[in-house]
A and B are shown apart, each in its own frame.
Chain A
Amino acid sequence: MKTKILQLILTCIILPIFGQYKFLDIPKLDNNDLKAVAYKKNPAEVAEILYKSYHYYITDGQLNLDVVSRVKIYKKDQAEKFLNQEIYTYNGKNNNSEKVTSLKVLTYNLVNDKVETTTVEKNSKYKSKESKNYTVTKFAFENVKDGSIVEYKYSVLSPFVWSVDKITVEDNVPTRRFDYVLDFPKYLGFNIDYKGSLTPKNRDVADKNIYGGEYYTYRFGFENIAPYRDEKYVHNLDNYRTSIRAELNSTNITRTPGAYDYSDLGGFKSYAVTWTDIRKQLYESDNFGEQLKRNLW
């Protein structure tokens, strides 16, 4: 795993960084995009992702995620995938749950050369408790026509800092810009598992002084990503898409000891997982060990 980090840093040096790319800078809504009736390079495209970003950052022992998605719809009847959306969140024990906040859902249309915005009201965003552990927040974009631009933004606040989702980069329609950012304090260590054939055009892997502390930041910016579509005899397309997955490998938190304080002062802890750890986790899991204990089988 360490060598992997090294590789990433090395390739970073080799790849030149062009100009001053601003990550997470949401582009201004362009009237030309609203006017467009078809994707230029291939008029058969049903939609185009104009901008998508995932920003993970850890502050105060919490994992924050900000998501922004802006999609141009060329053919509404064939682009249903982009029109009805679901956000899955995990509910843990003792109220340790992921929470969706500040969900904004907008549809932009050009009416008489003016931008008309339709917002999904609170009572049309649905929260459904799918099972004990999962809640889904669902919404459907409103007033969608051929040519609309649909946009959503939301944040997730999570106590599970070790659980950063795997993010896949390519979609089955073209993507104009895609940003991935992970900021974490230096006392945490993450492995970045980067898979796939796509090379980020913009890359910034460095230590930075942000959020009032010492941080590492991993930033990958992609531009003009070709669509990645299902082909015959591919069982799981996601295995081939470019993906980024961050995995917590260690913490290094040290307390200042008080007088006569003999308890654990912290220090470096590795979370590199062994098979023994996995066995322990499985036995503690509700869906495995707990069921075995109850002797339901």
Chain B
Amino acid sequence: MSIKTFSQNYAISEIPEEIKKDANAVVRNYSSEYTIKAADDMEIKEKKVISILNKAGEKFSYVNISYNKYSRISDLKLRVLDENGKSIKSYSKSDLNDVSQSDNSYLYSDYRALVTRIVQPTYPYTIELSYTTRTSDTAFLPELQPFYAYNVSVEKWSVDFKNESGINLRKKITESKFGKIELQENGNELKVAYINIPSYKYEKYSPDPETVFPKIEFAMDRACLKDKCGDFSSWQSLARWYNTLIEPASAITPEIQNEVNGLNLKGSTSEKVKTIYQYMQKKTRYVFVGIGIGGWQPMSADDVRKKGYGDCKALSNYMRVLLKAAGIPSYYTKIYLDDTPVFFDENFPKMSGNHVILNIPTENGDIWLENTDQNIAFNHLGYATRNRNVVLIDDNATKVINTPTYSAADSEEQMSVSAKISEDNSLSGNFKFGFTGGLYDFNLNKATMTPQEMKESLKYDLNILNLSSINYSNFLNDRDSSKLSYDIDFKADNFSKTLGNDIYFRALPVADNGFYLENSEDRKFPVEVAFGYTDNYEIEYTIPKNYKFSEIPLAKKIDSEYGNYSIEFSQENDRIVIKRKFKLNKGSIAVDKIPSYINFRKQINKIDATKILITKL
């Protein structure tokens, strides 16, 4: 293996057969050689050789080298090699486009990138890129994980360190069956690599690859970020460094004190926090500006007060300062916002996290505040910030603690339907919907919709019905109890089917939750149920006067480790009431258990498809 790399032969024929399967591209050699000269001086020699095997792999032919004011790119070489590894084209730095990296979600960021797209009319070909970066930022060291993308295999991916700084360099290895690390340590040199990692196909309902692949992380005990250096050897010392960024932005100005005084705070701590929180929500909006340390340092609280906008750091810190002005202590809290929970390691402090929230300890438990959403309920964390740990930043009492876990019962969809079946096969009536927990989050975007958008969105939600008219009313985003509810009046055509003297119709007027998965021998990843929920449905149908029920379906119940399901039917005169309850548990389902999980979901889908038959008298 190493001989091949030395000879730099990137002919396609050199790719080991076992990693060619399902691969549209192969990472031939991705190496980063770090030379740490001092806490604020680091040189990185990057080399990235990737072979594009077919058209589907073309999306990996983009070259994107990001840099900023604190880093410099030099010795850039970019070549395209043909199938035999022979150079056919070469580019220089000036052939790349120098573009700003601030996208639409930013107002401004000083990150830039050198980019180009390699276009080659025939496959396969290989792109060989190498460059050197010199930077004064050492707070973020690489995290090596041998997953490049789906359908891309890895021949060799390595990171080498040469630590000349004398500062302790820590490493943390997370093992997994998806790759074995090769590690060599020698004095102040450290070499790690993953070799011959096959390509993986995307699998439905699989977790974020970042959480299943092995990885190695690095951190230094002393590091710098945008010329600000600190002791990163413990969470406490890291937090102290972090606090030097937050504190200058946290002055209680007379204007802020006036704002708080003007709120006439009364009642318990929780009531006071709520008043301030809802005041802050109403006043602000989310705008991201990142200049220099601004990606980590919040804009000053008084500037947020004046401007009425900020990013997660600025808004959270403004909220913290408002609370401080009211005499209520709170913690600036670092967290990973992600659908699949990502955790901090209590024993491996390093700069990390991608979001900021607030934690307020009170006599009646913790209050958690998400400060970037103008409509979200008080003390409610969205599903992407629950069930994980966070770092509370404090000069003396920094700790890693957990955010609330919401059980399947906490995330509930309540739906009650009262509808009339007509002889012309139409269905008319009303829905009452209520959502809590994670389902509240999924529906919260409805709070900012115009009536027209809301109608479109409801039509989409209920697209199993052939709607000829729909109107909604009583829309309520209850920001005290995290419950969102609304009512719908509707008429749908072709709901039931006529068969001679009979009419039959679906017991459930709405779609099942769309679960569809076939058993596969090949399955590599577990199935992830990212969050559990409960559906609580009550449906009442009234049938036409001159009809009677032919047969009432039997009640059914399924209990399993994955969840619980029950459906009941009760009939009285011209009415039938259907009660359906479905609880799906959160969890990760191992590959060998997937068939039984599929079976559980299929059984439910089948019962949900139950039809009810009525006959003309």
* Interface check A241, CB cutoff 8 A: no
Interchain residue pairs A-B with the least CB separation, the first 7: A126-B108, A142-B307, A143-B308, A131-B99, A130-B100, A140-B287, A77-B374
Q: Is A296 an interface residue (CB 8 A)?
A: yes
Binds B, one of A18-26, A78-86, A96-104, A268-276: A78-86
Of chain B, the residue at the smallest CB distance from A291 is B95
Contacts of B451 in A (CB 8 A): 44
Instruction: Digitize A234-271: 1 where CB-to-B-CB distance is under 8 Å, 0 elsewhere.
Output: 00000000000000000000000000000000000000
Give which listed residue, A78, A124, A128, A129, contacts B307 with CB less than 8 A: A124
CB-based contact A78/B100 at 8 Å = no
Query: Interface size class for chain B?
Result: 20 to 34
**How distant is B255 from chain A, measured CB to nearest CB, in Å?**
12
**Which residues of chain A from 32 to 53 have a CB within 8 Å of any chain B CB?**
44, 46
Q: Are A144 and B285 in contact (CB under 8 A)?
A: yes
Interface flag for A177 (CB, 8 Å): no
Interface residues of B in 297-319 (CB under 8 A from A): 306-309
Query: When chains A and B are docked, how far (Å) is the Cα of A124 from the Cα of B449?
Result: 30
Q: Which residues of B contact A (CB under 8 A)?
A: 89, 91, 95, 97-100, 102, 107-108, 119, 282-283, 285, 287, 289, 306-309, 374-375, 448-452
Contact status A296-B91, CB under 8 Å = yes
Residues of A within 8 A of B289 (CB): 126
Instruction: Check if A142 sits within 8 Å of B108, measured CB to CB.
Output: no
Known: A44-B450, A78-B448, A132-B97. A126 touches B107 (CB 8 A): yes
Q: A46-B450, A78-B450, A126-B107 are in contact. Are A132 and B98 (CB under 8 A)?
A: yes
Closest CB in chain A relative to B328 CB, distance in Å = 25
Given A128-B100, A129-B100, A131-B97, A144 contacting B308 (CB threshold 8 A): yes
What B residues does A77 contact at CB under 8 A? 285, 374-375, 448
> Within 8 Å CB of B448, what residues of A?
77-78
CB distance from B23 to the nearest CB of A (A): 25
User: Which residues 93-146 in A have Cβ within 8 Å of B in the complex?
Assistant: 118, 124, 126, 128-132, 136, 138-140, 142-145
A-B contact count, CB below 8 Å?
Answer: 62
CB neighbours (8 Å) of A76 from chain B are 285, 374
**Hey, which chain B residues are within 8 Å of A132, CB to CB?**
97-98
Q: Is the CB of B307 within 8 A of A143?
A: yes
Residues of A in contact with B (beta carbons under 8 Å apart)? 44, 46, 76-78, 80, 83-84, 118, 124, 126, 128-132, 136, 138-140, 142-145, 229, 294-297
Q: How far is the CB of B331 from chain A (nearest CB, A)?
A: 27
* Chain A residues near B307 (CB-CB < 8 A): 124, 140, 142-143
CB of B450 within 8 A of CB of A131, answer no
A-B contact pairs, 22 of them (CB 8 A): A44-B452, A46-B450, A76-B374, A77-B374, A77-B375, A78-B450, A80-B285, A83-B285, A126-B107, A126-B108, A126-B289, A128-B102, A130-B100, A131-B98, A132-B97, A139-B107, A140-B107, A142-B306, A142-B307, A143-B306, A143-B308, A294-B95
Please, how many angstroms separate the alpha-carbon atoms of A104 and B354 in the complex? 34
Distance in angstroms from B544 CB to nearest chain A CB is 34
The answer to whether residues A130 and B99 also contact, given A44-B452, A76-B285, A143-B306 and a CB cut-off of 8 A, is yes
**In the complex, A229 Cα to B283 Cα: how many Å?**
28
Which residue of chain B is the closest to A135 with respect to CB atoms? B100
Q: Does the CB pair A142–B283 fall under 8 Å?
A: no
Contact B119 A297 (CB under 8 A): yes
Nearest-neighbour CB distance to chain A for B138, whole angstroms, equals 27
Q: State the Cβ distance, A109 to closest chain B Cβ, in Å.
A: 10
Chain A residue with the shortest CB-CB distance to B108:
A126
Q: Within 8 Å CB of B283, what residues of A? A: 145
Is there contact, CB below 8 Å, between A131 and B107? no
Q: How far is the CA of A145 from the CA of B95 in the complex (A)?
A: 47
Are B107 and A84 touching (Cβ within 8 A)?
yes
Query: Which residue of A has the minimal Cβ distance to B281?
Result: A77
The CA of A76 and the CA of B308, in the complex, are separated in Å by 11
Contact B108 A128 (CB under 8 A): yes
Given contacts A76-B285, A78-B450, A144-B285, contact A131 B100 (CB under 8 A): yes
Q: Contacts of B89 on A, CB cut-off 8 Å?
A: 295-296
**Separation in Å of the B161 CB from the closest CB of chain A?**
34
Residues of A within 8 A of B95 (CB): 294, 296
Whole-angstrom distance between the Cβ of B97 and the nearest chain A Cβ:
6
Return A295 CB to nearest CB of chain B, in Å: 8
A130 to B283, CA, bound (A): 31
> Please, how many angstroms separate the alpha-carbon atoms of A80 and B373 in the complex?
13
With a CB–CB cut-off of 8 A, which chain B residues contact A129?
Answer: 100
Query: A146 → chain B, closest Cβ, in Å?
Result: 8
> What CA separation (Å) do A51 and B516 show in the bound complex?
53
- Chain A residues closer than 8 Å to B374, beta-carbon distance: 76-77
Residues of B within 8 A of A297 (CB): 119
| Residues from chain A with Cβ under 8 Å of B108 in the complex | 126, 128, 138
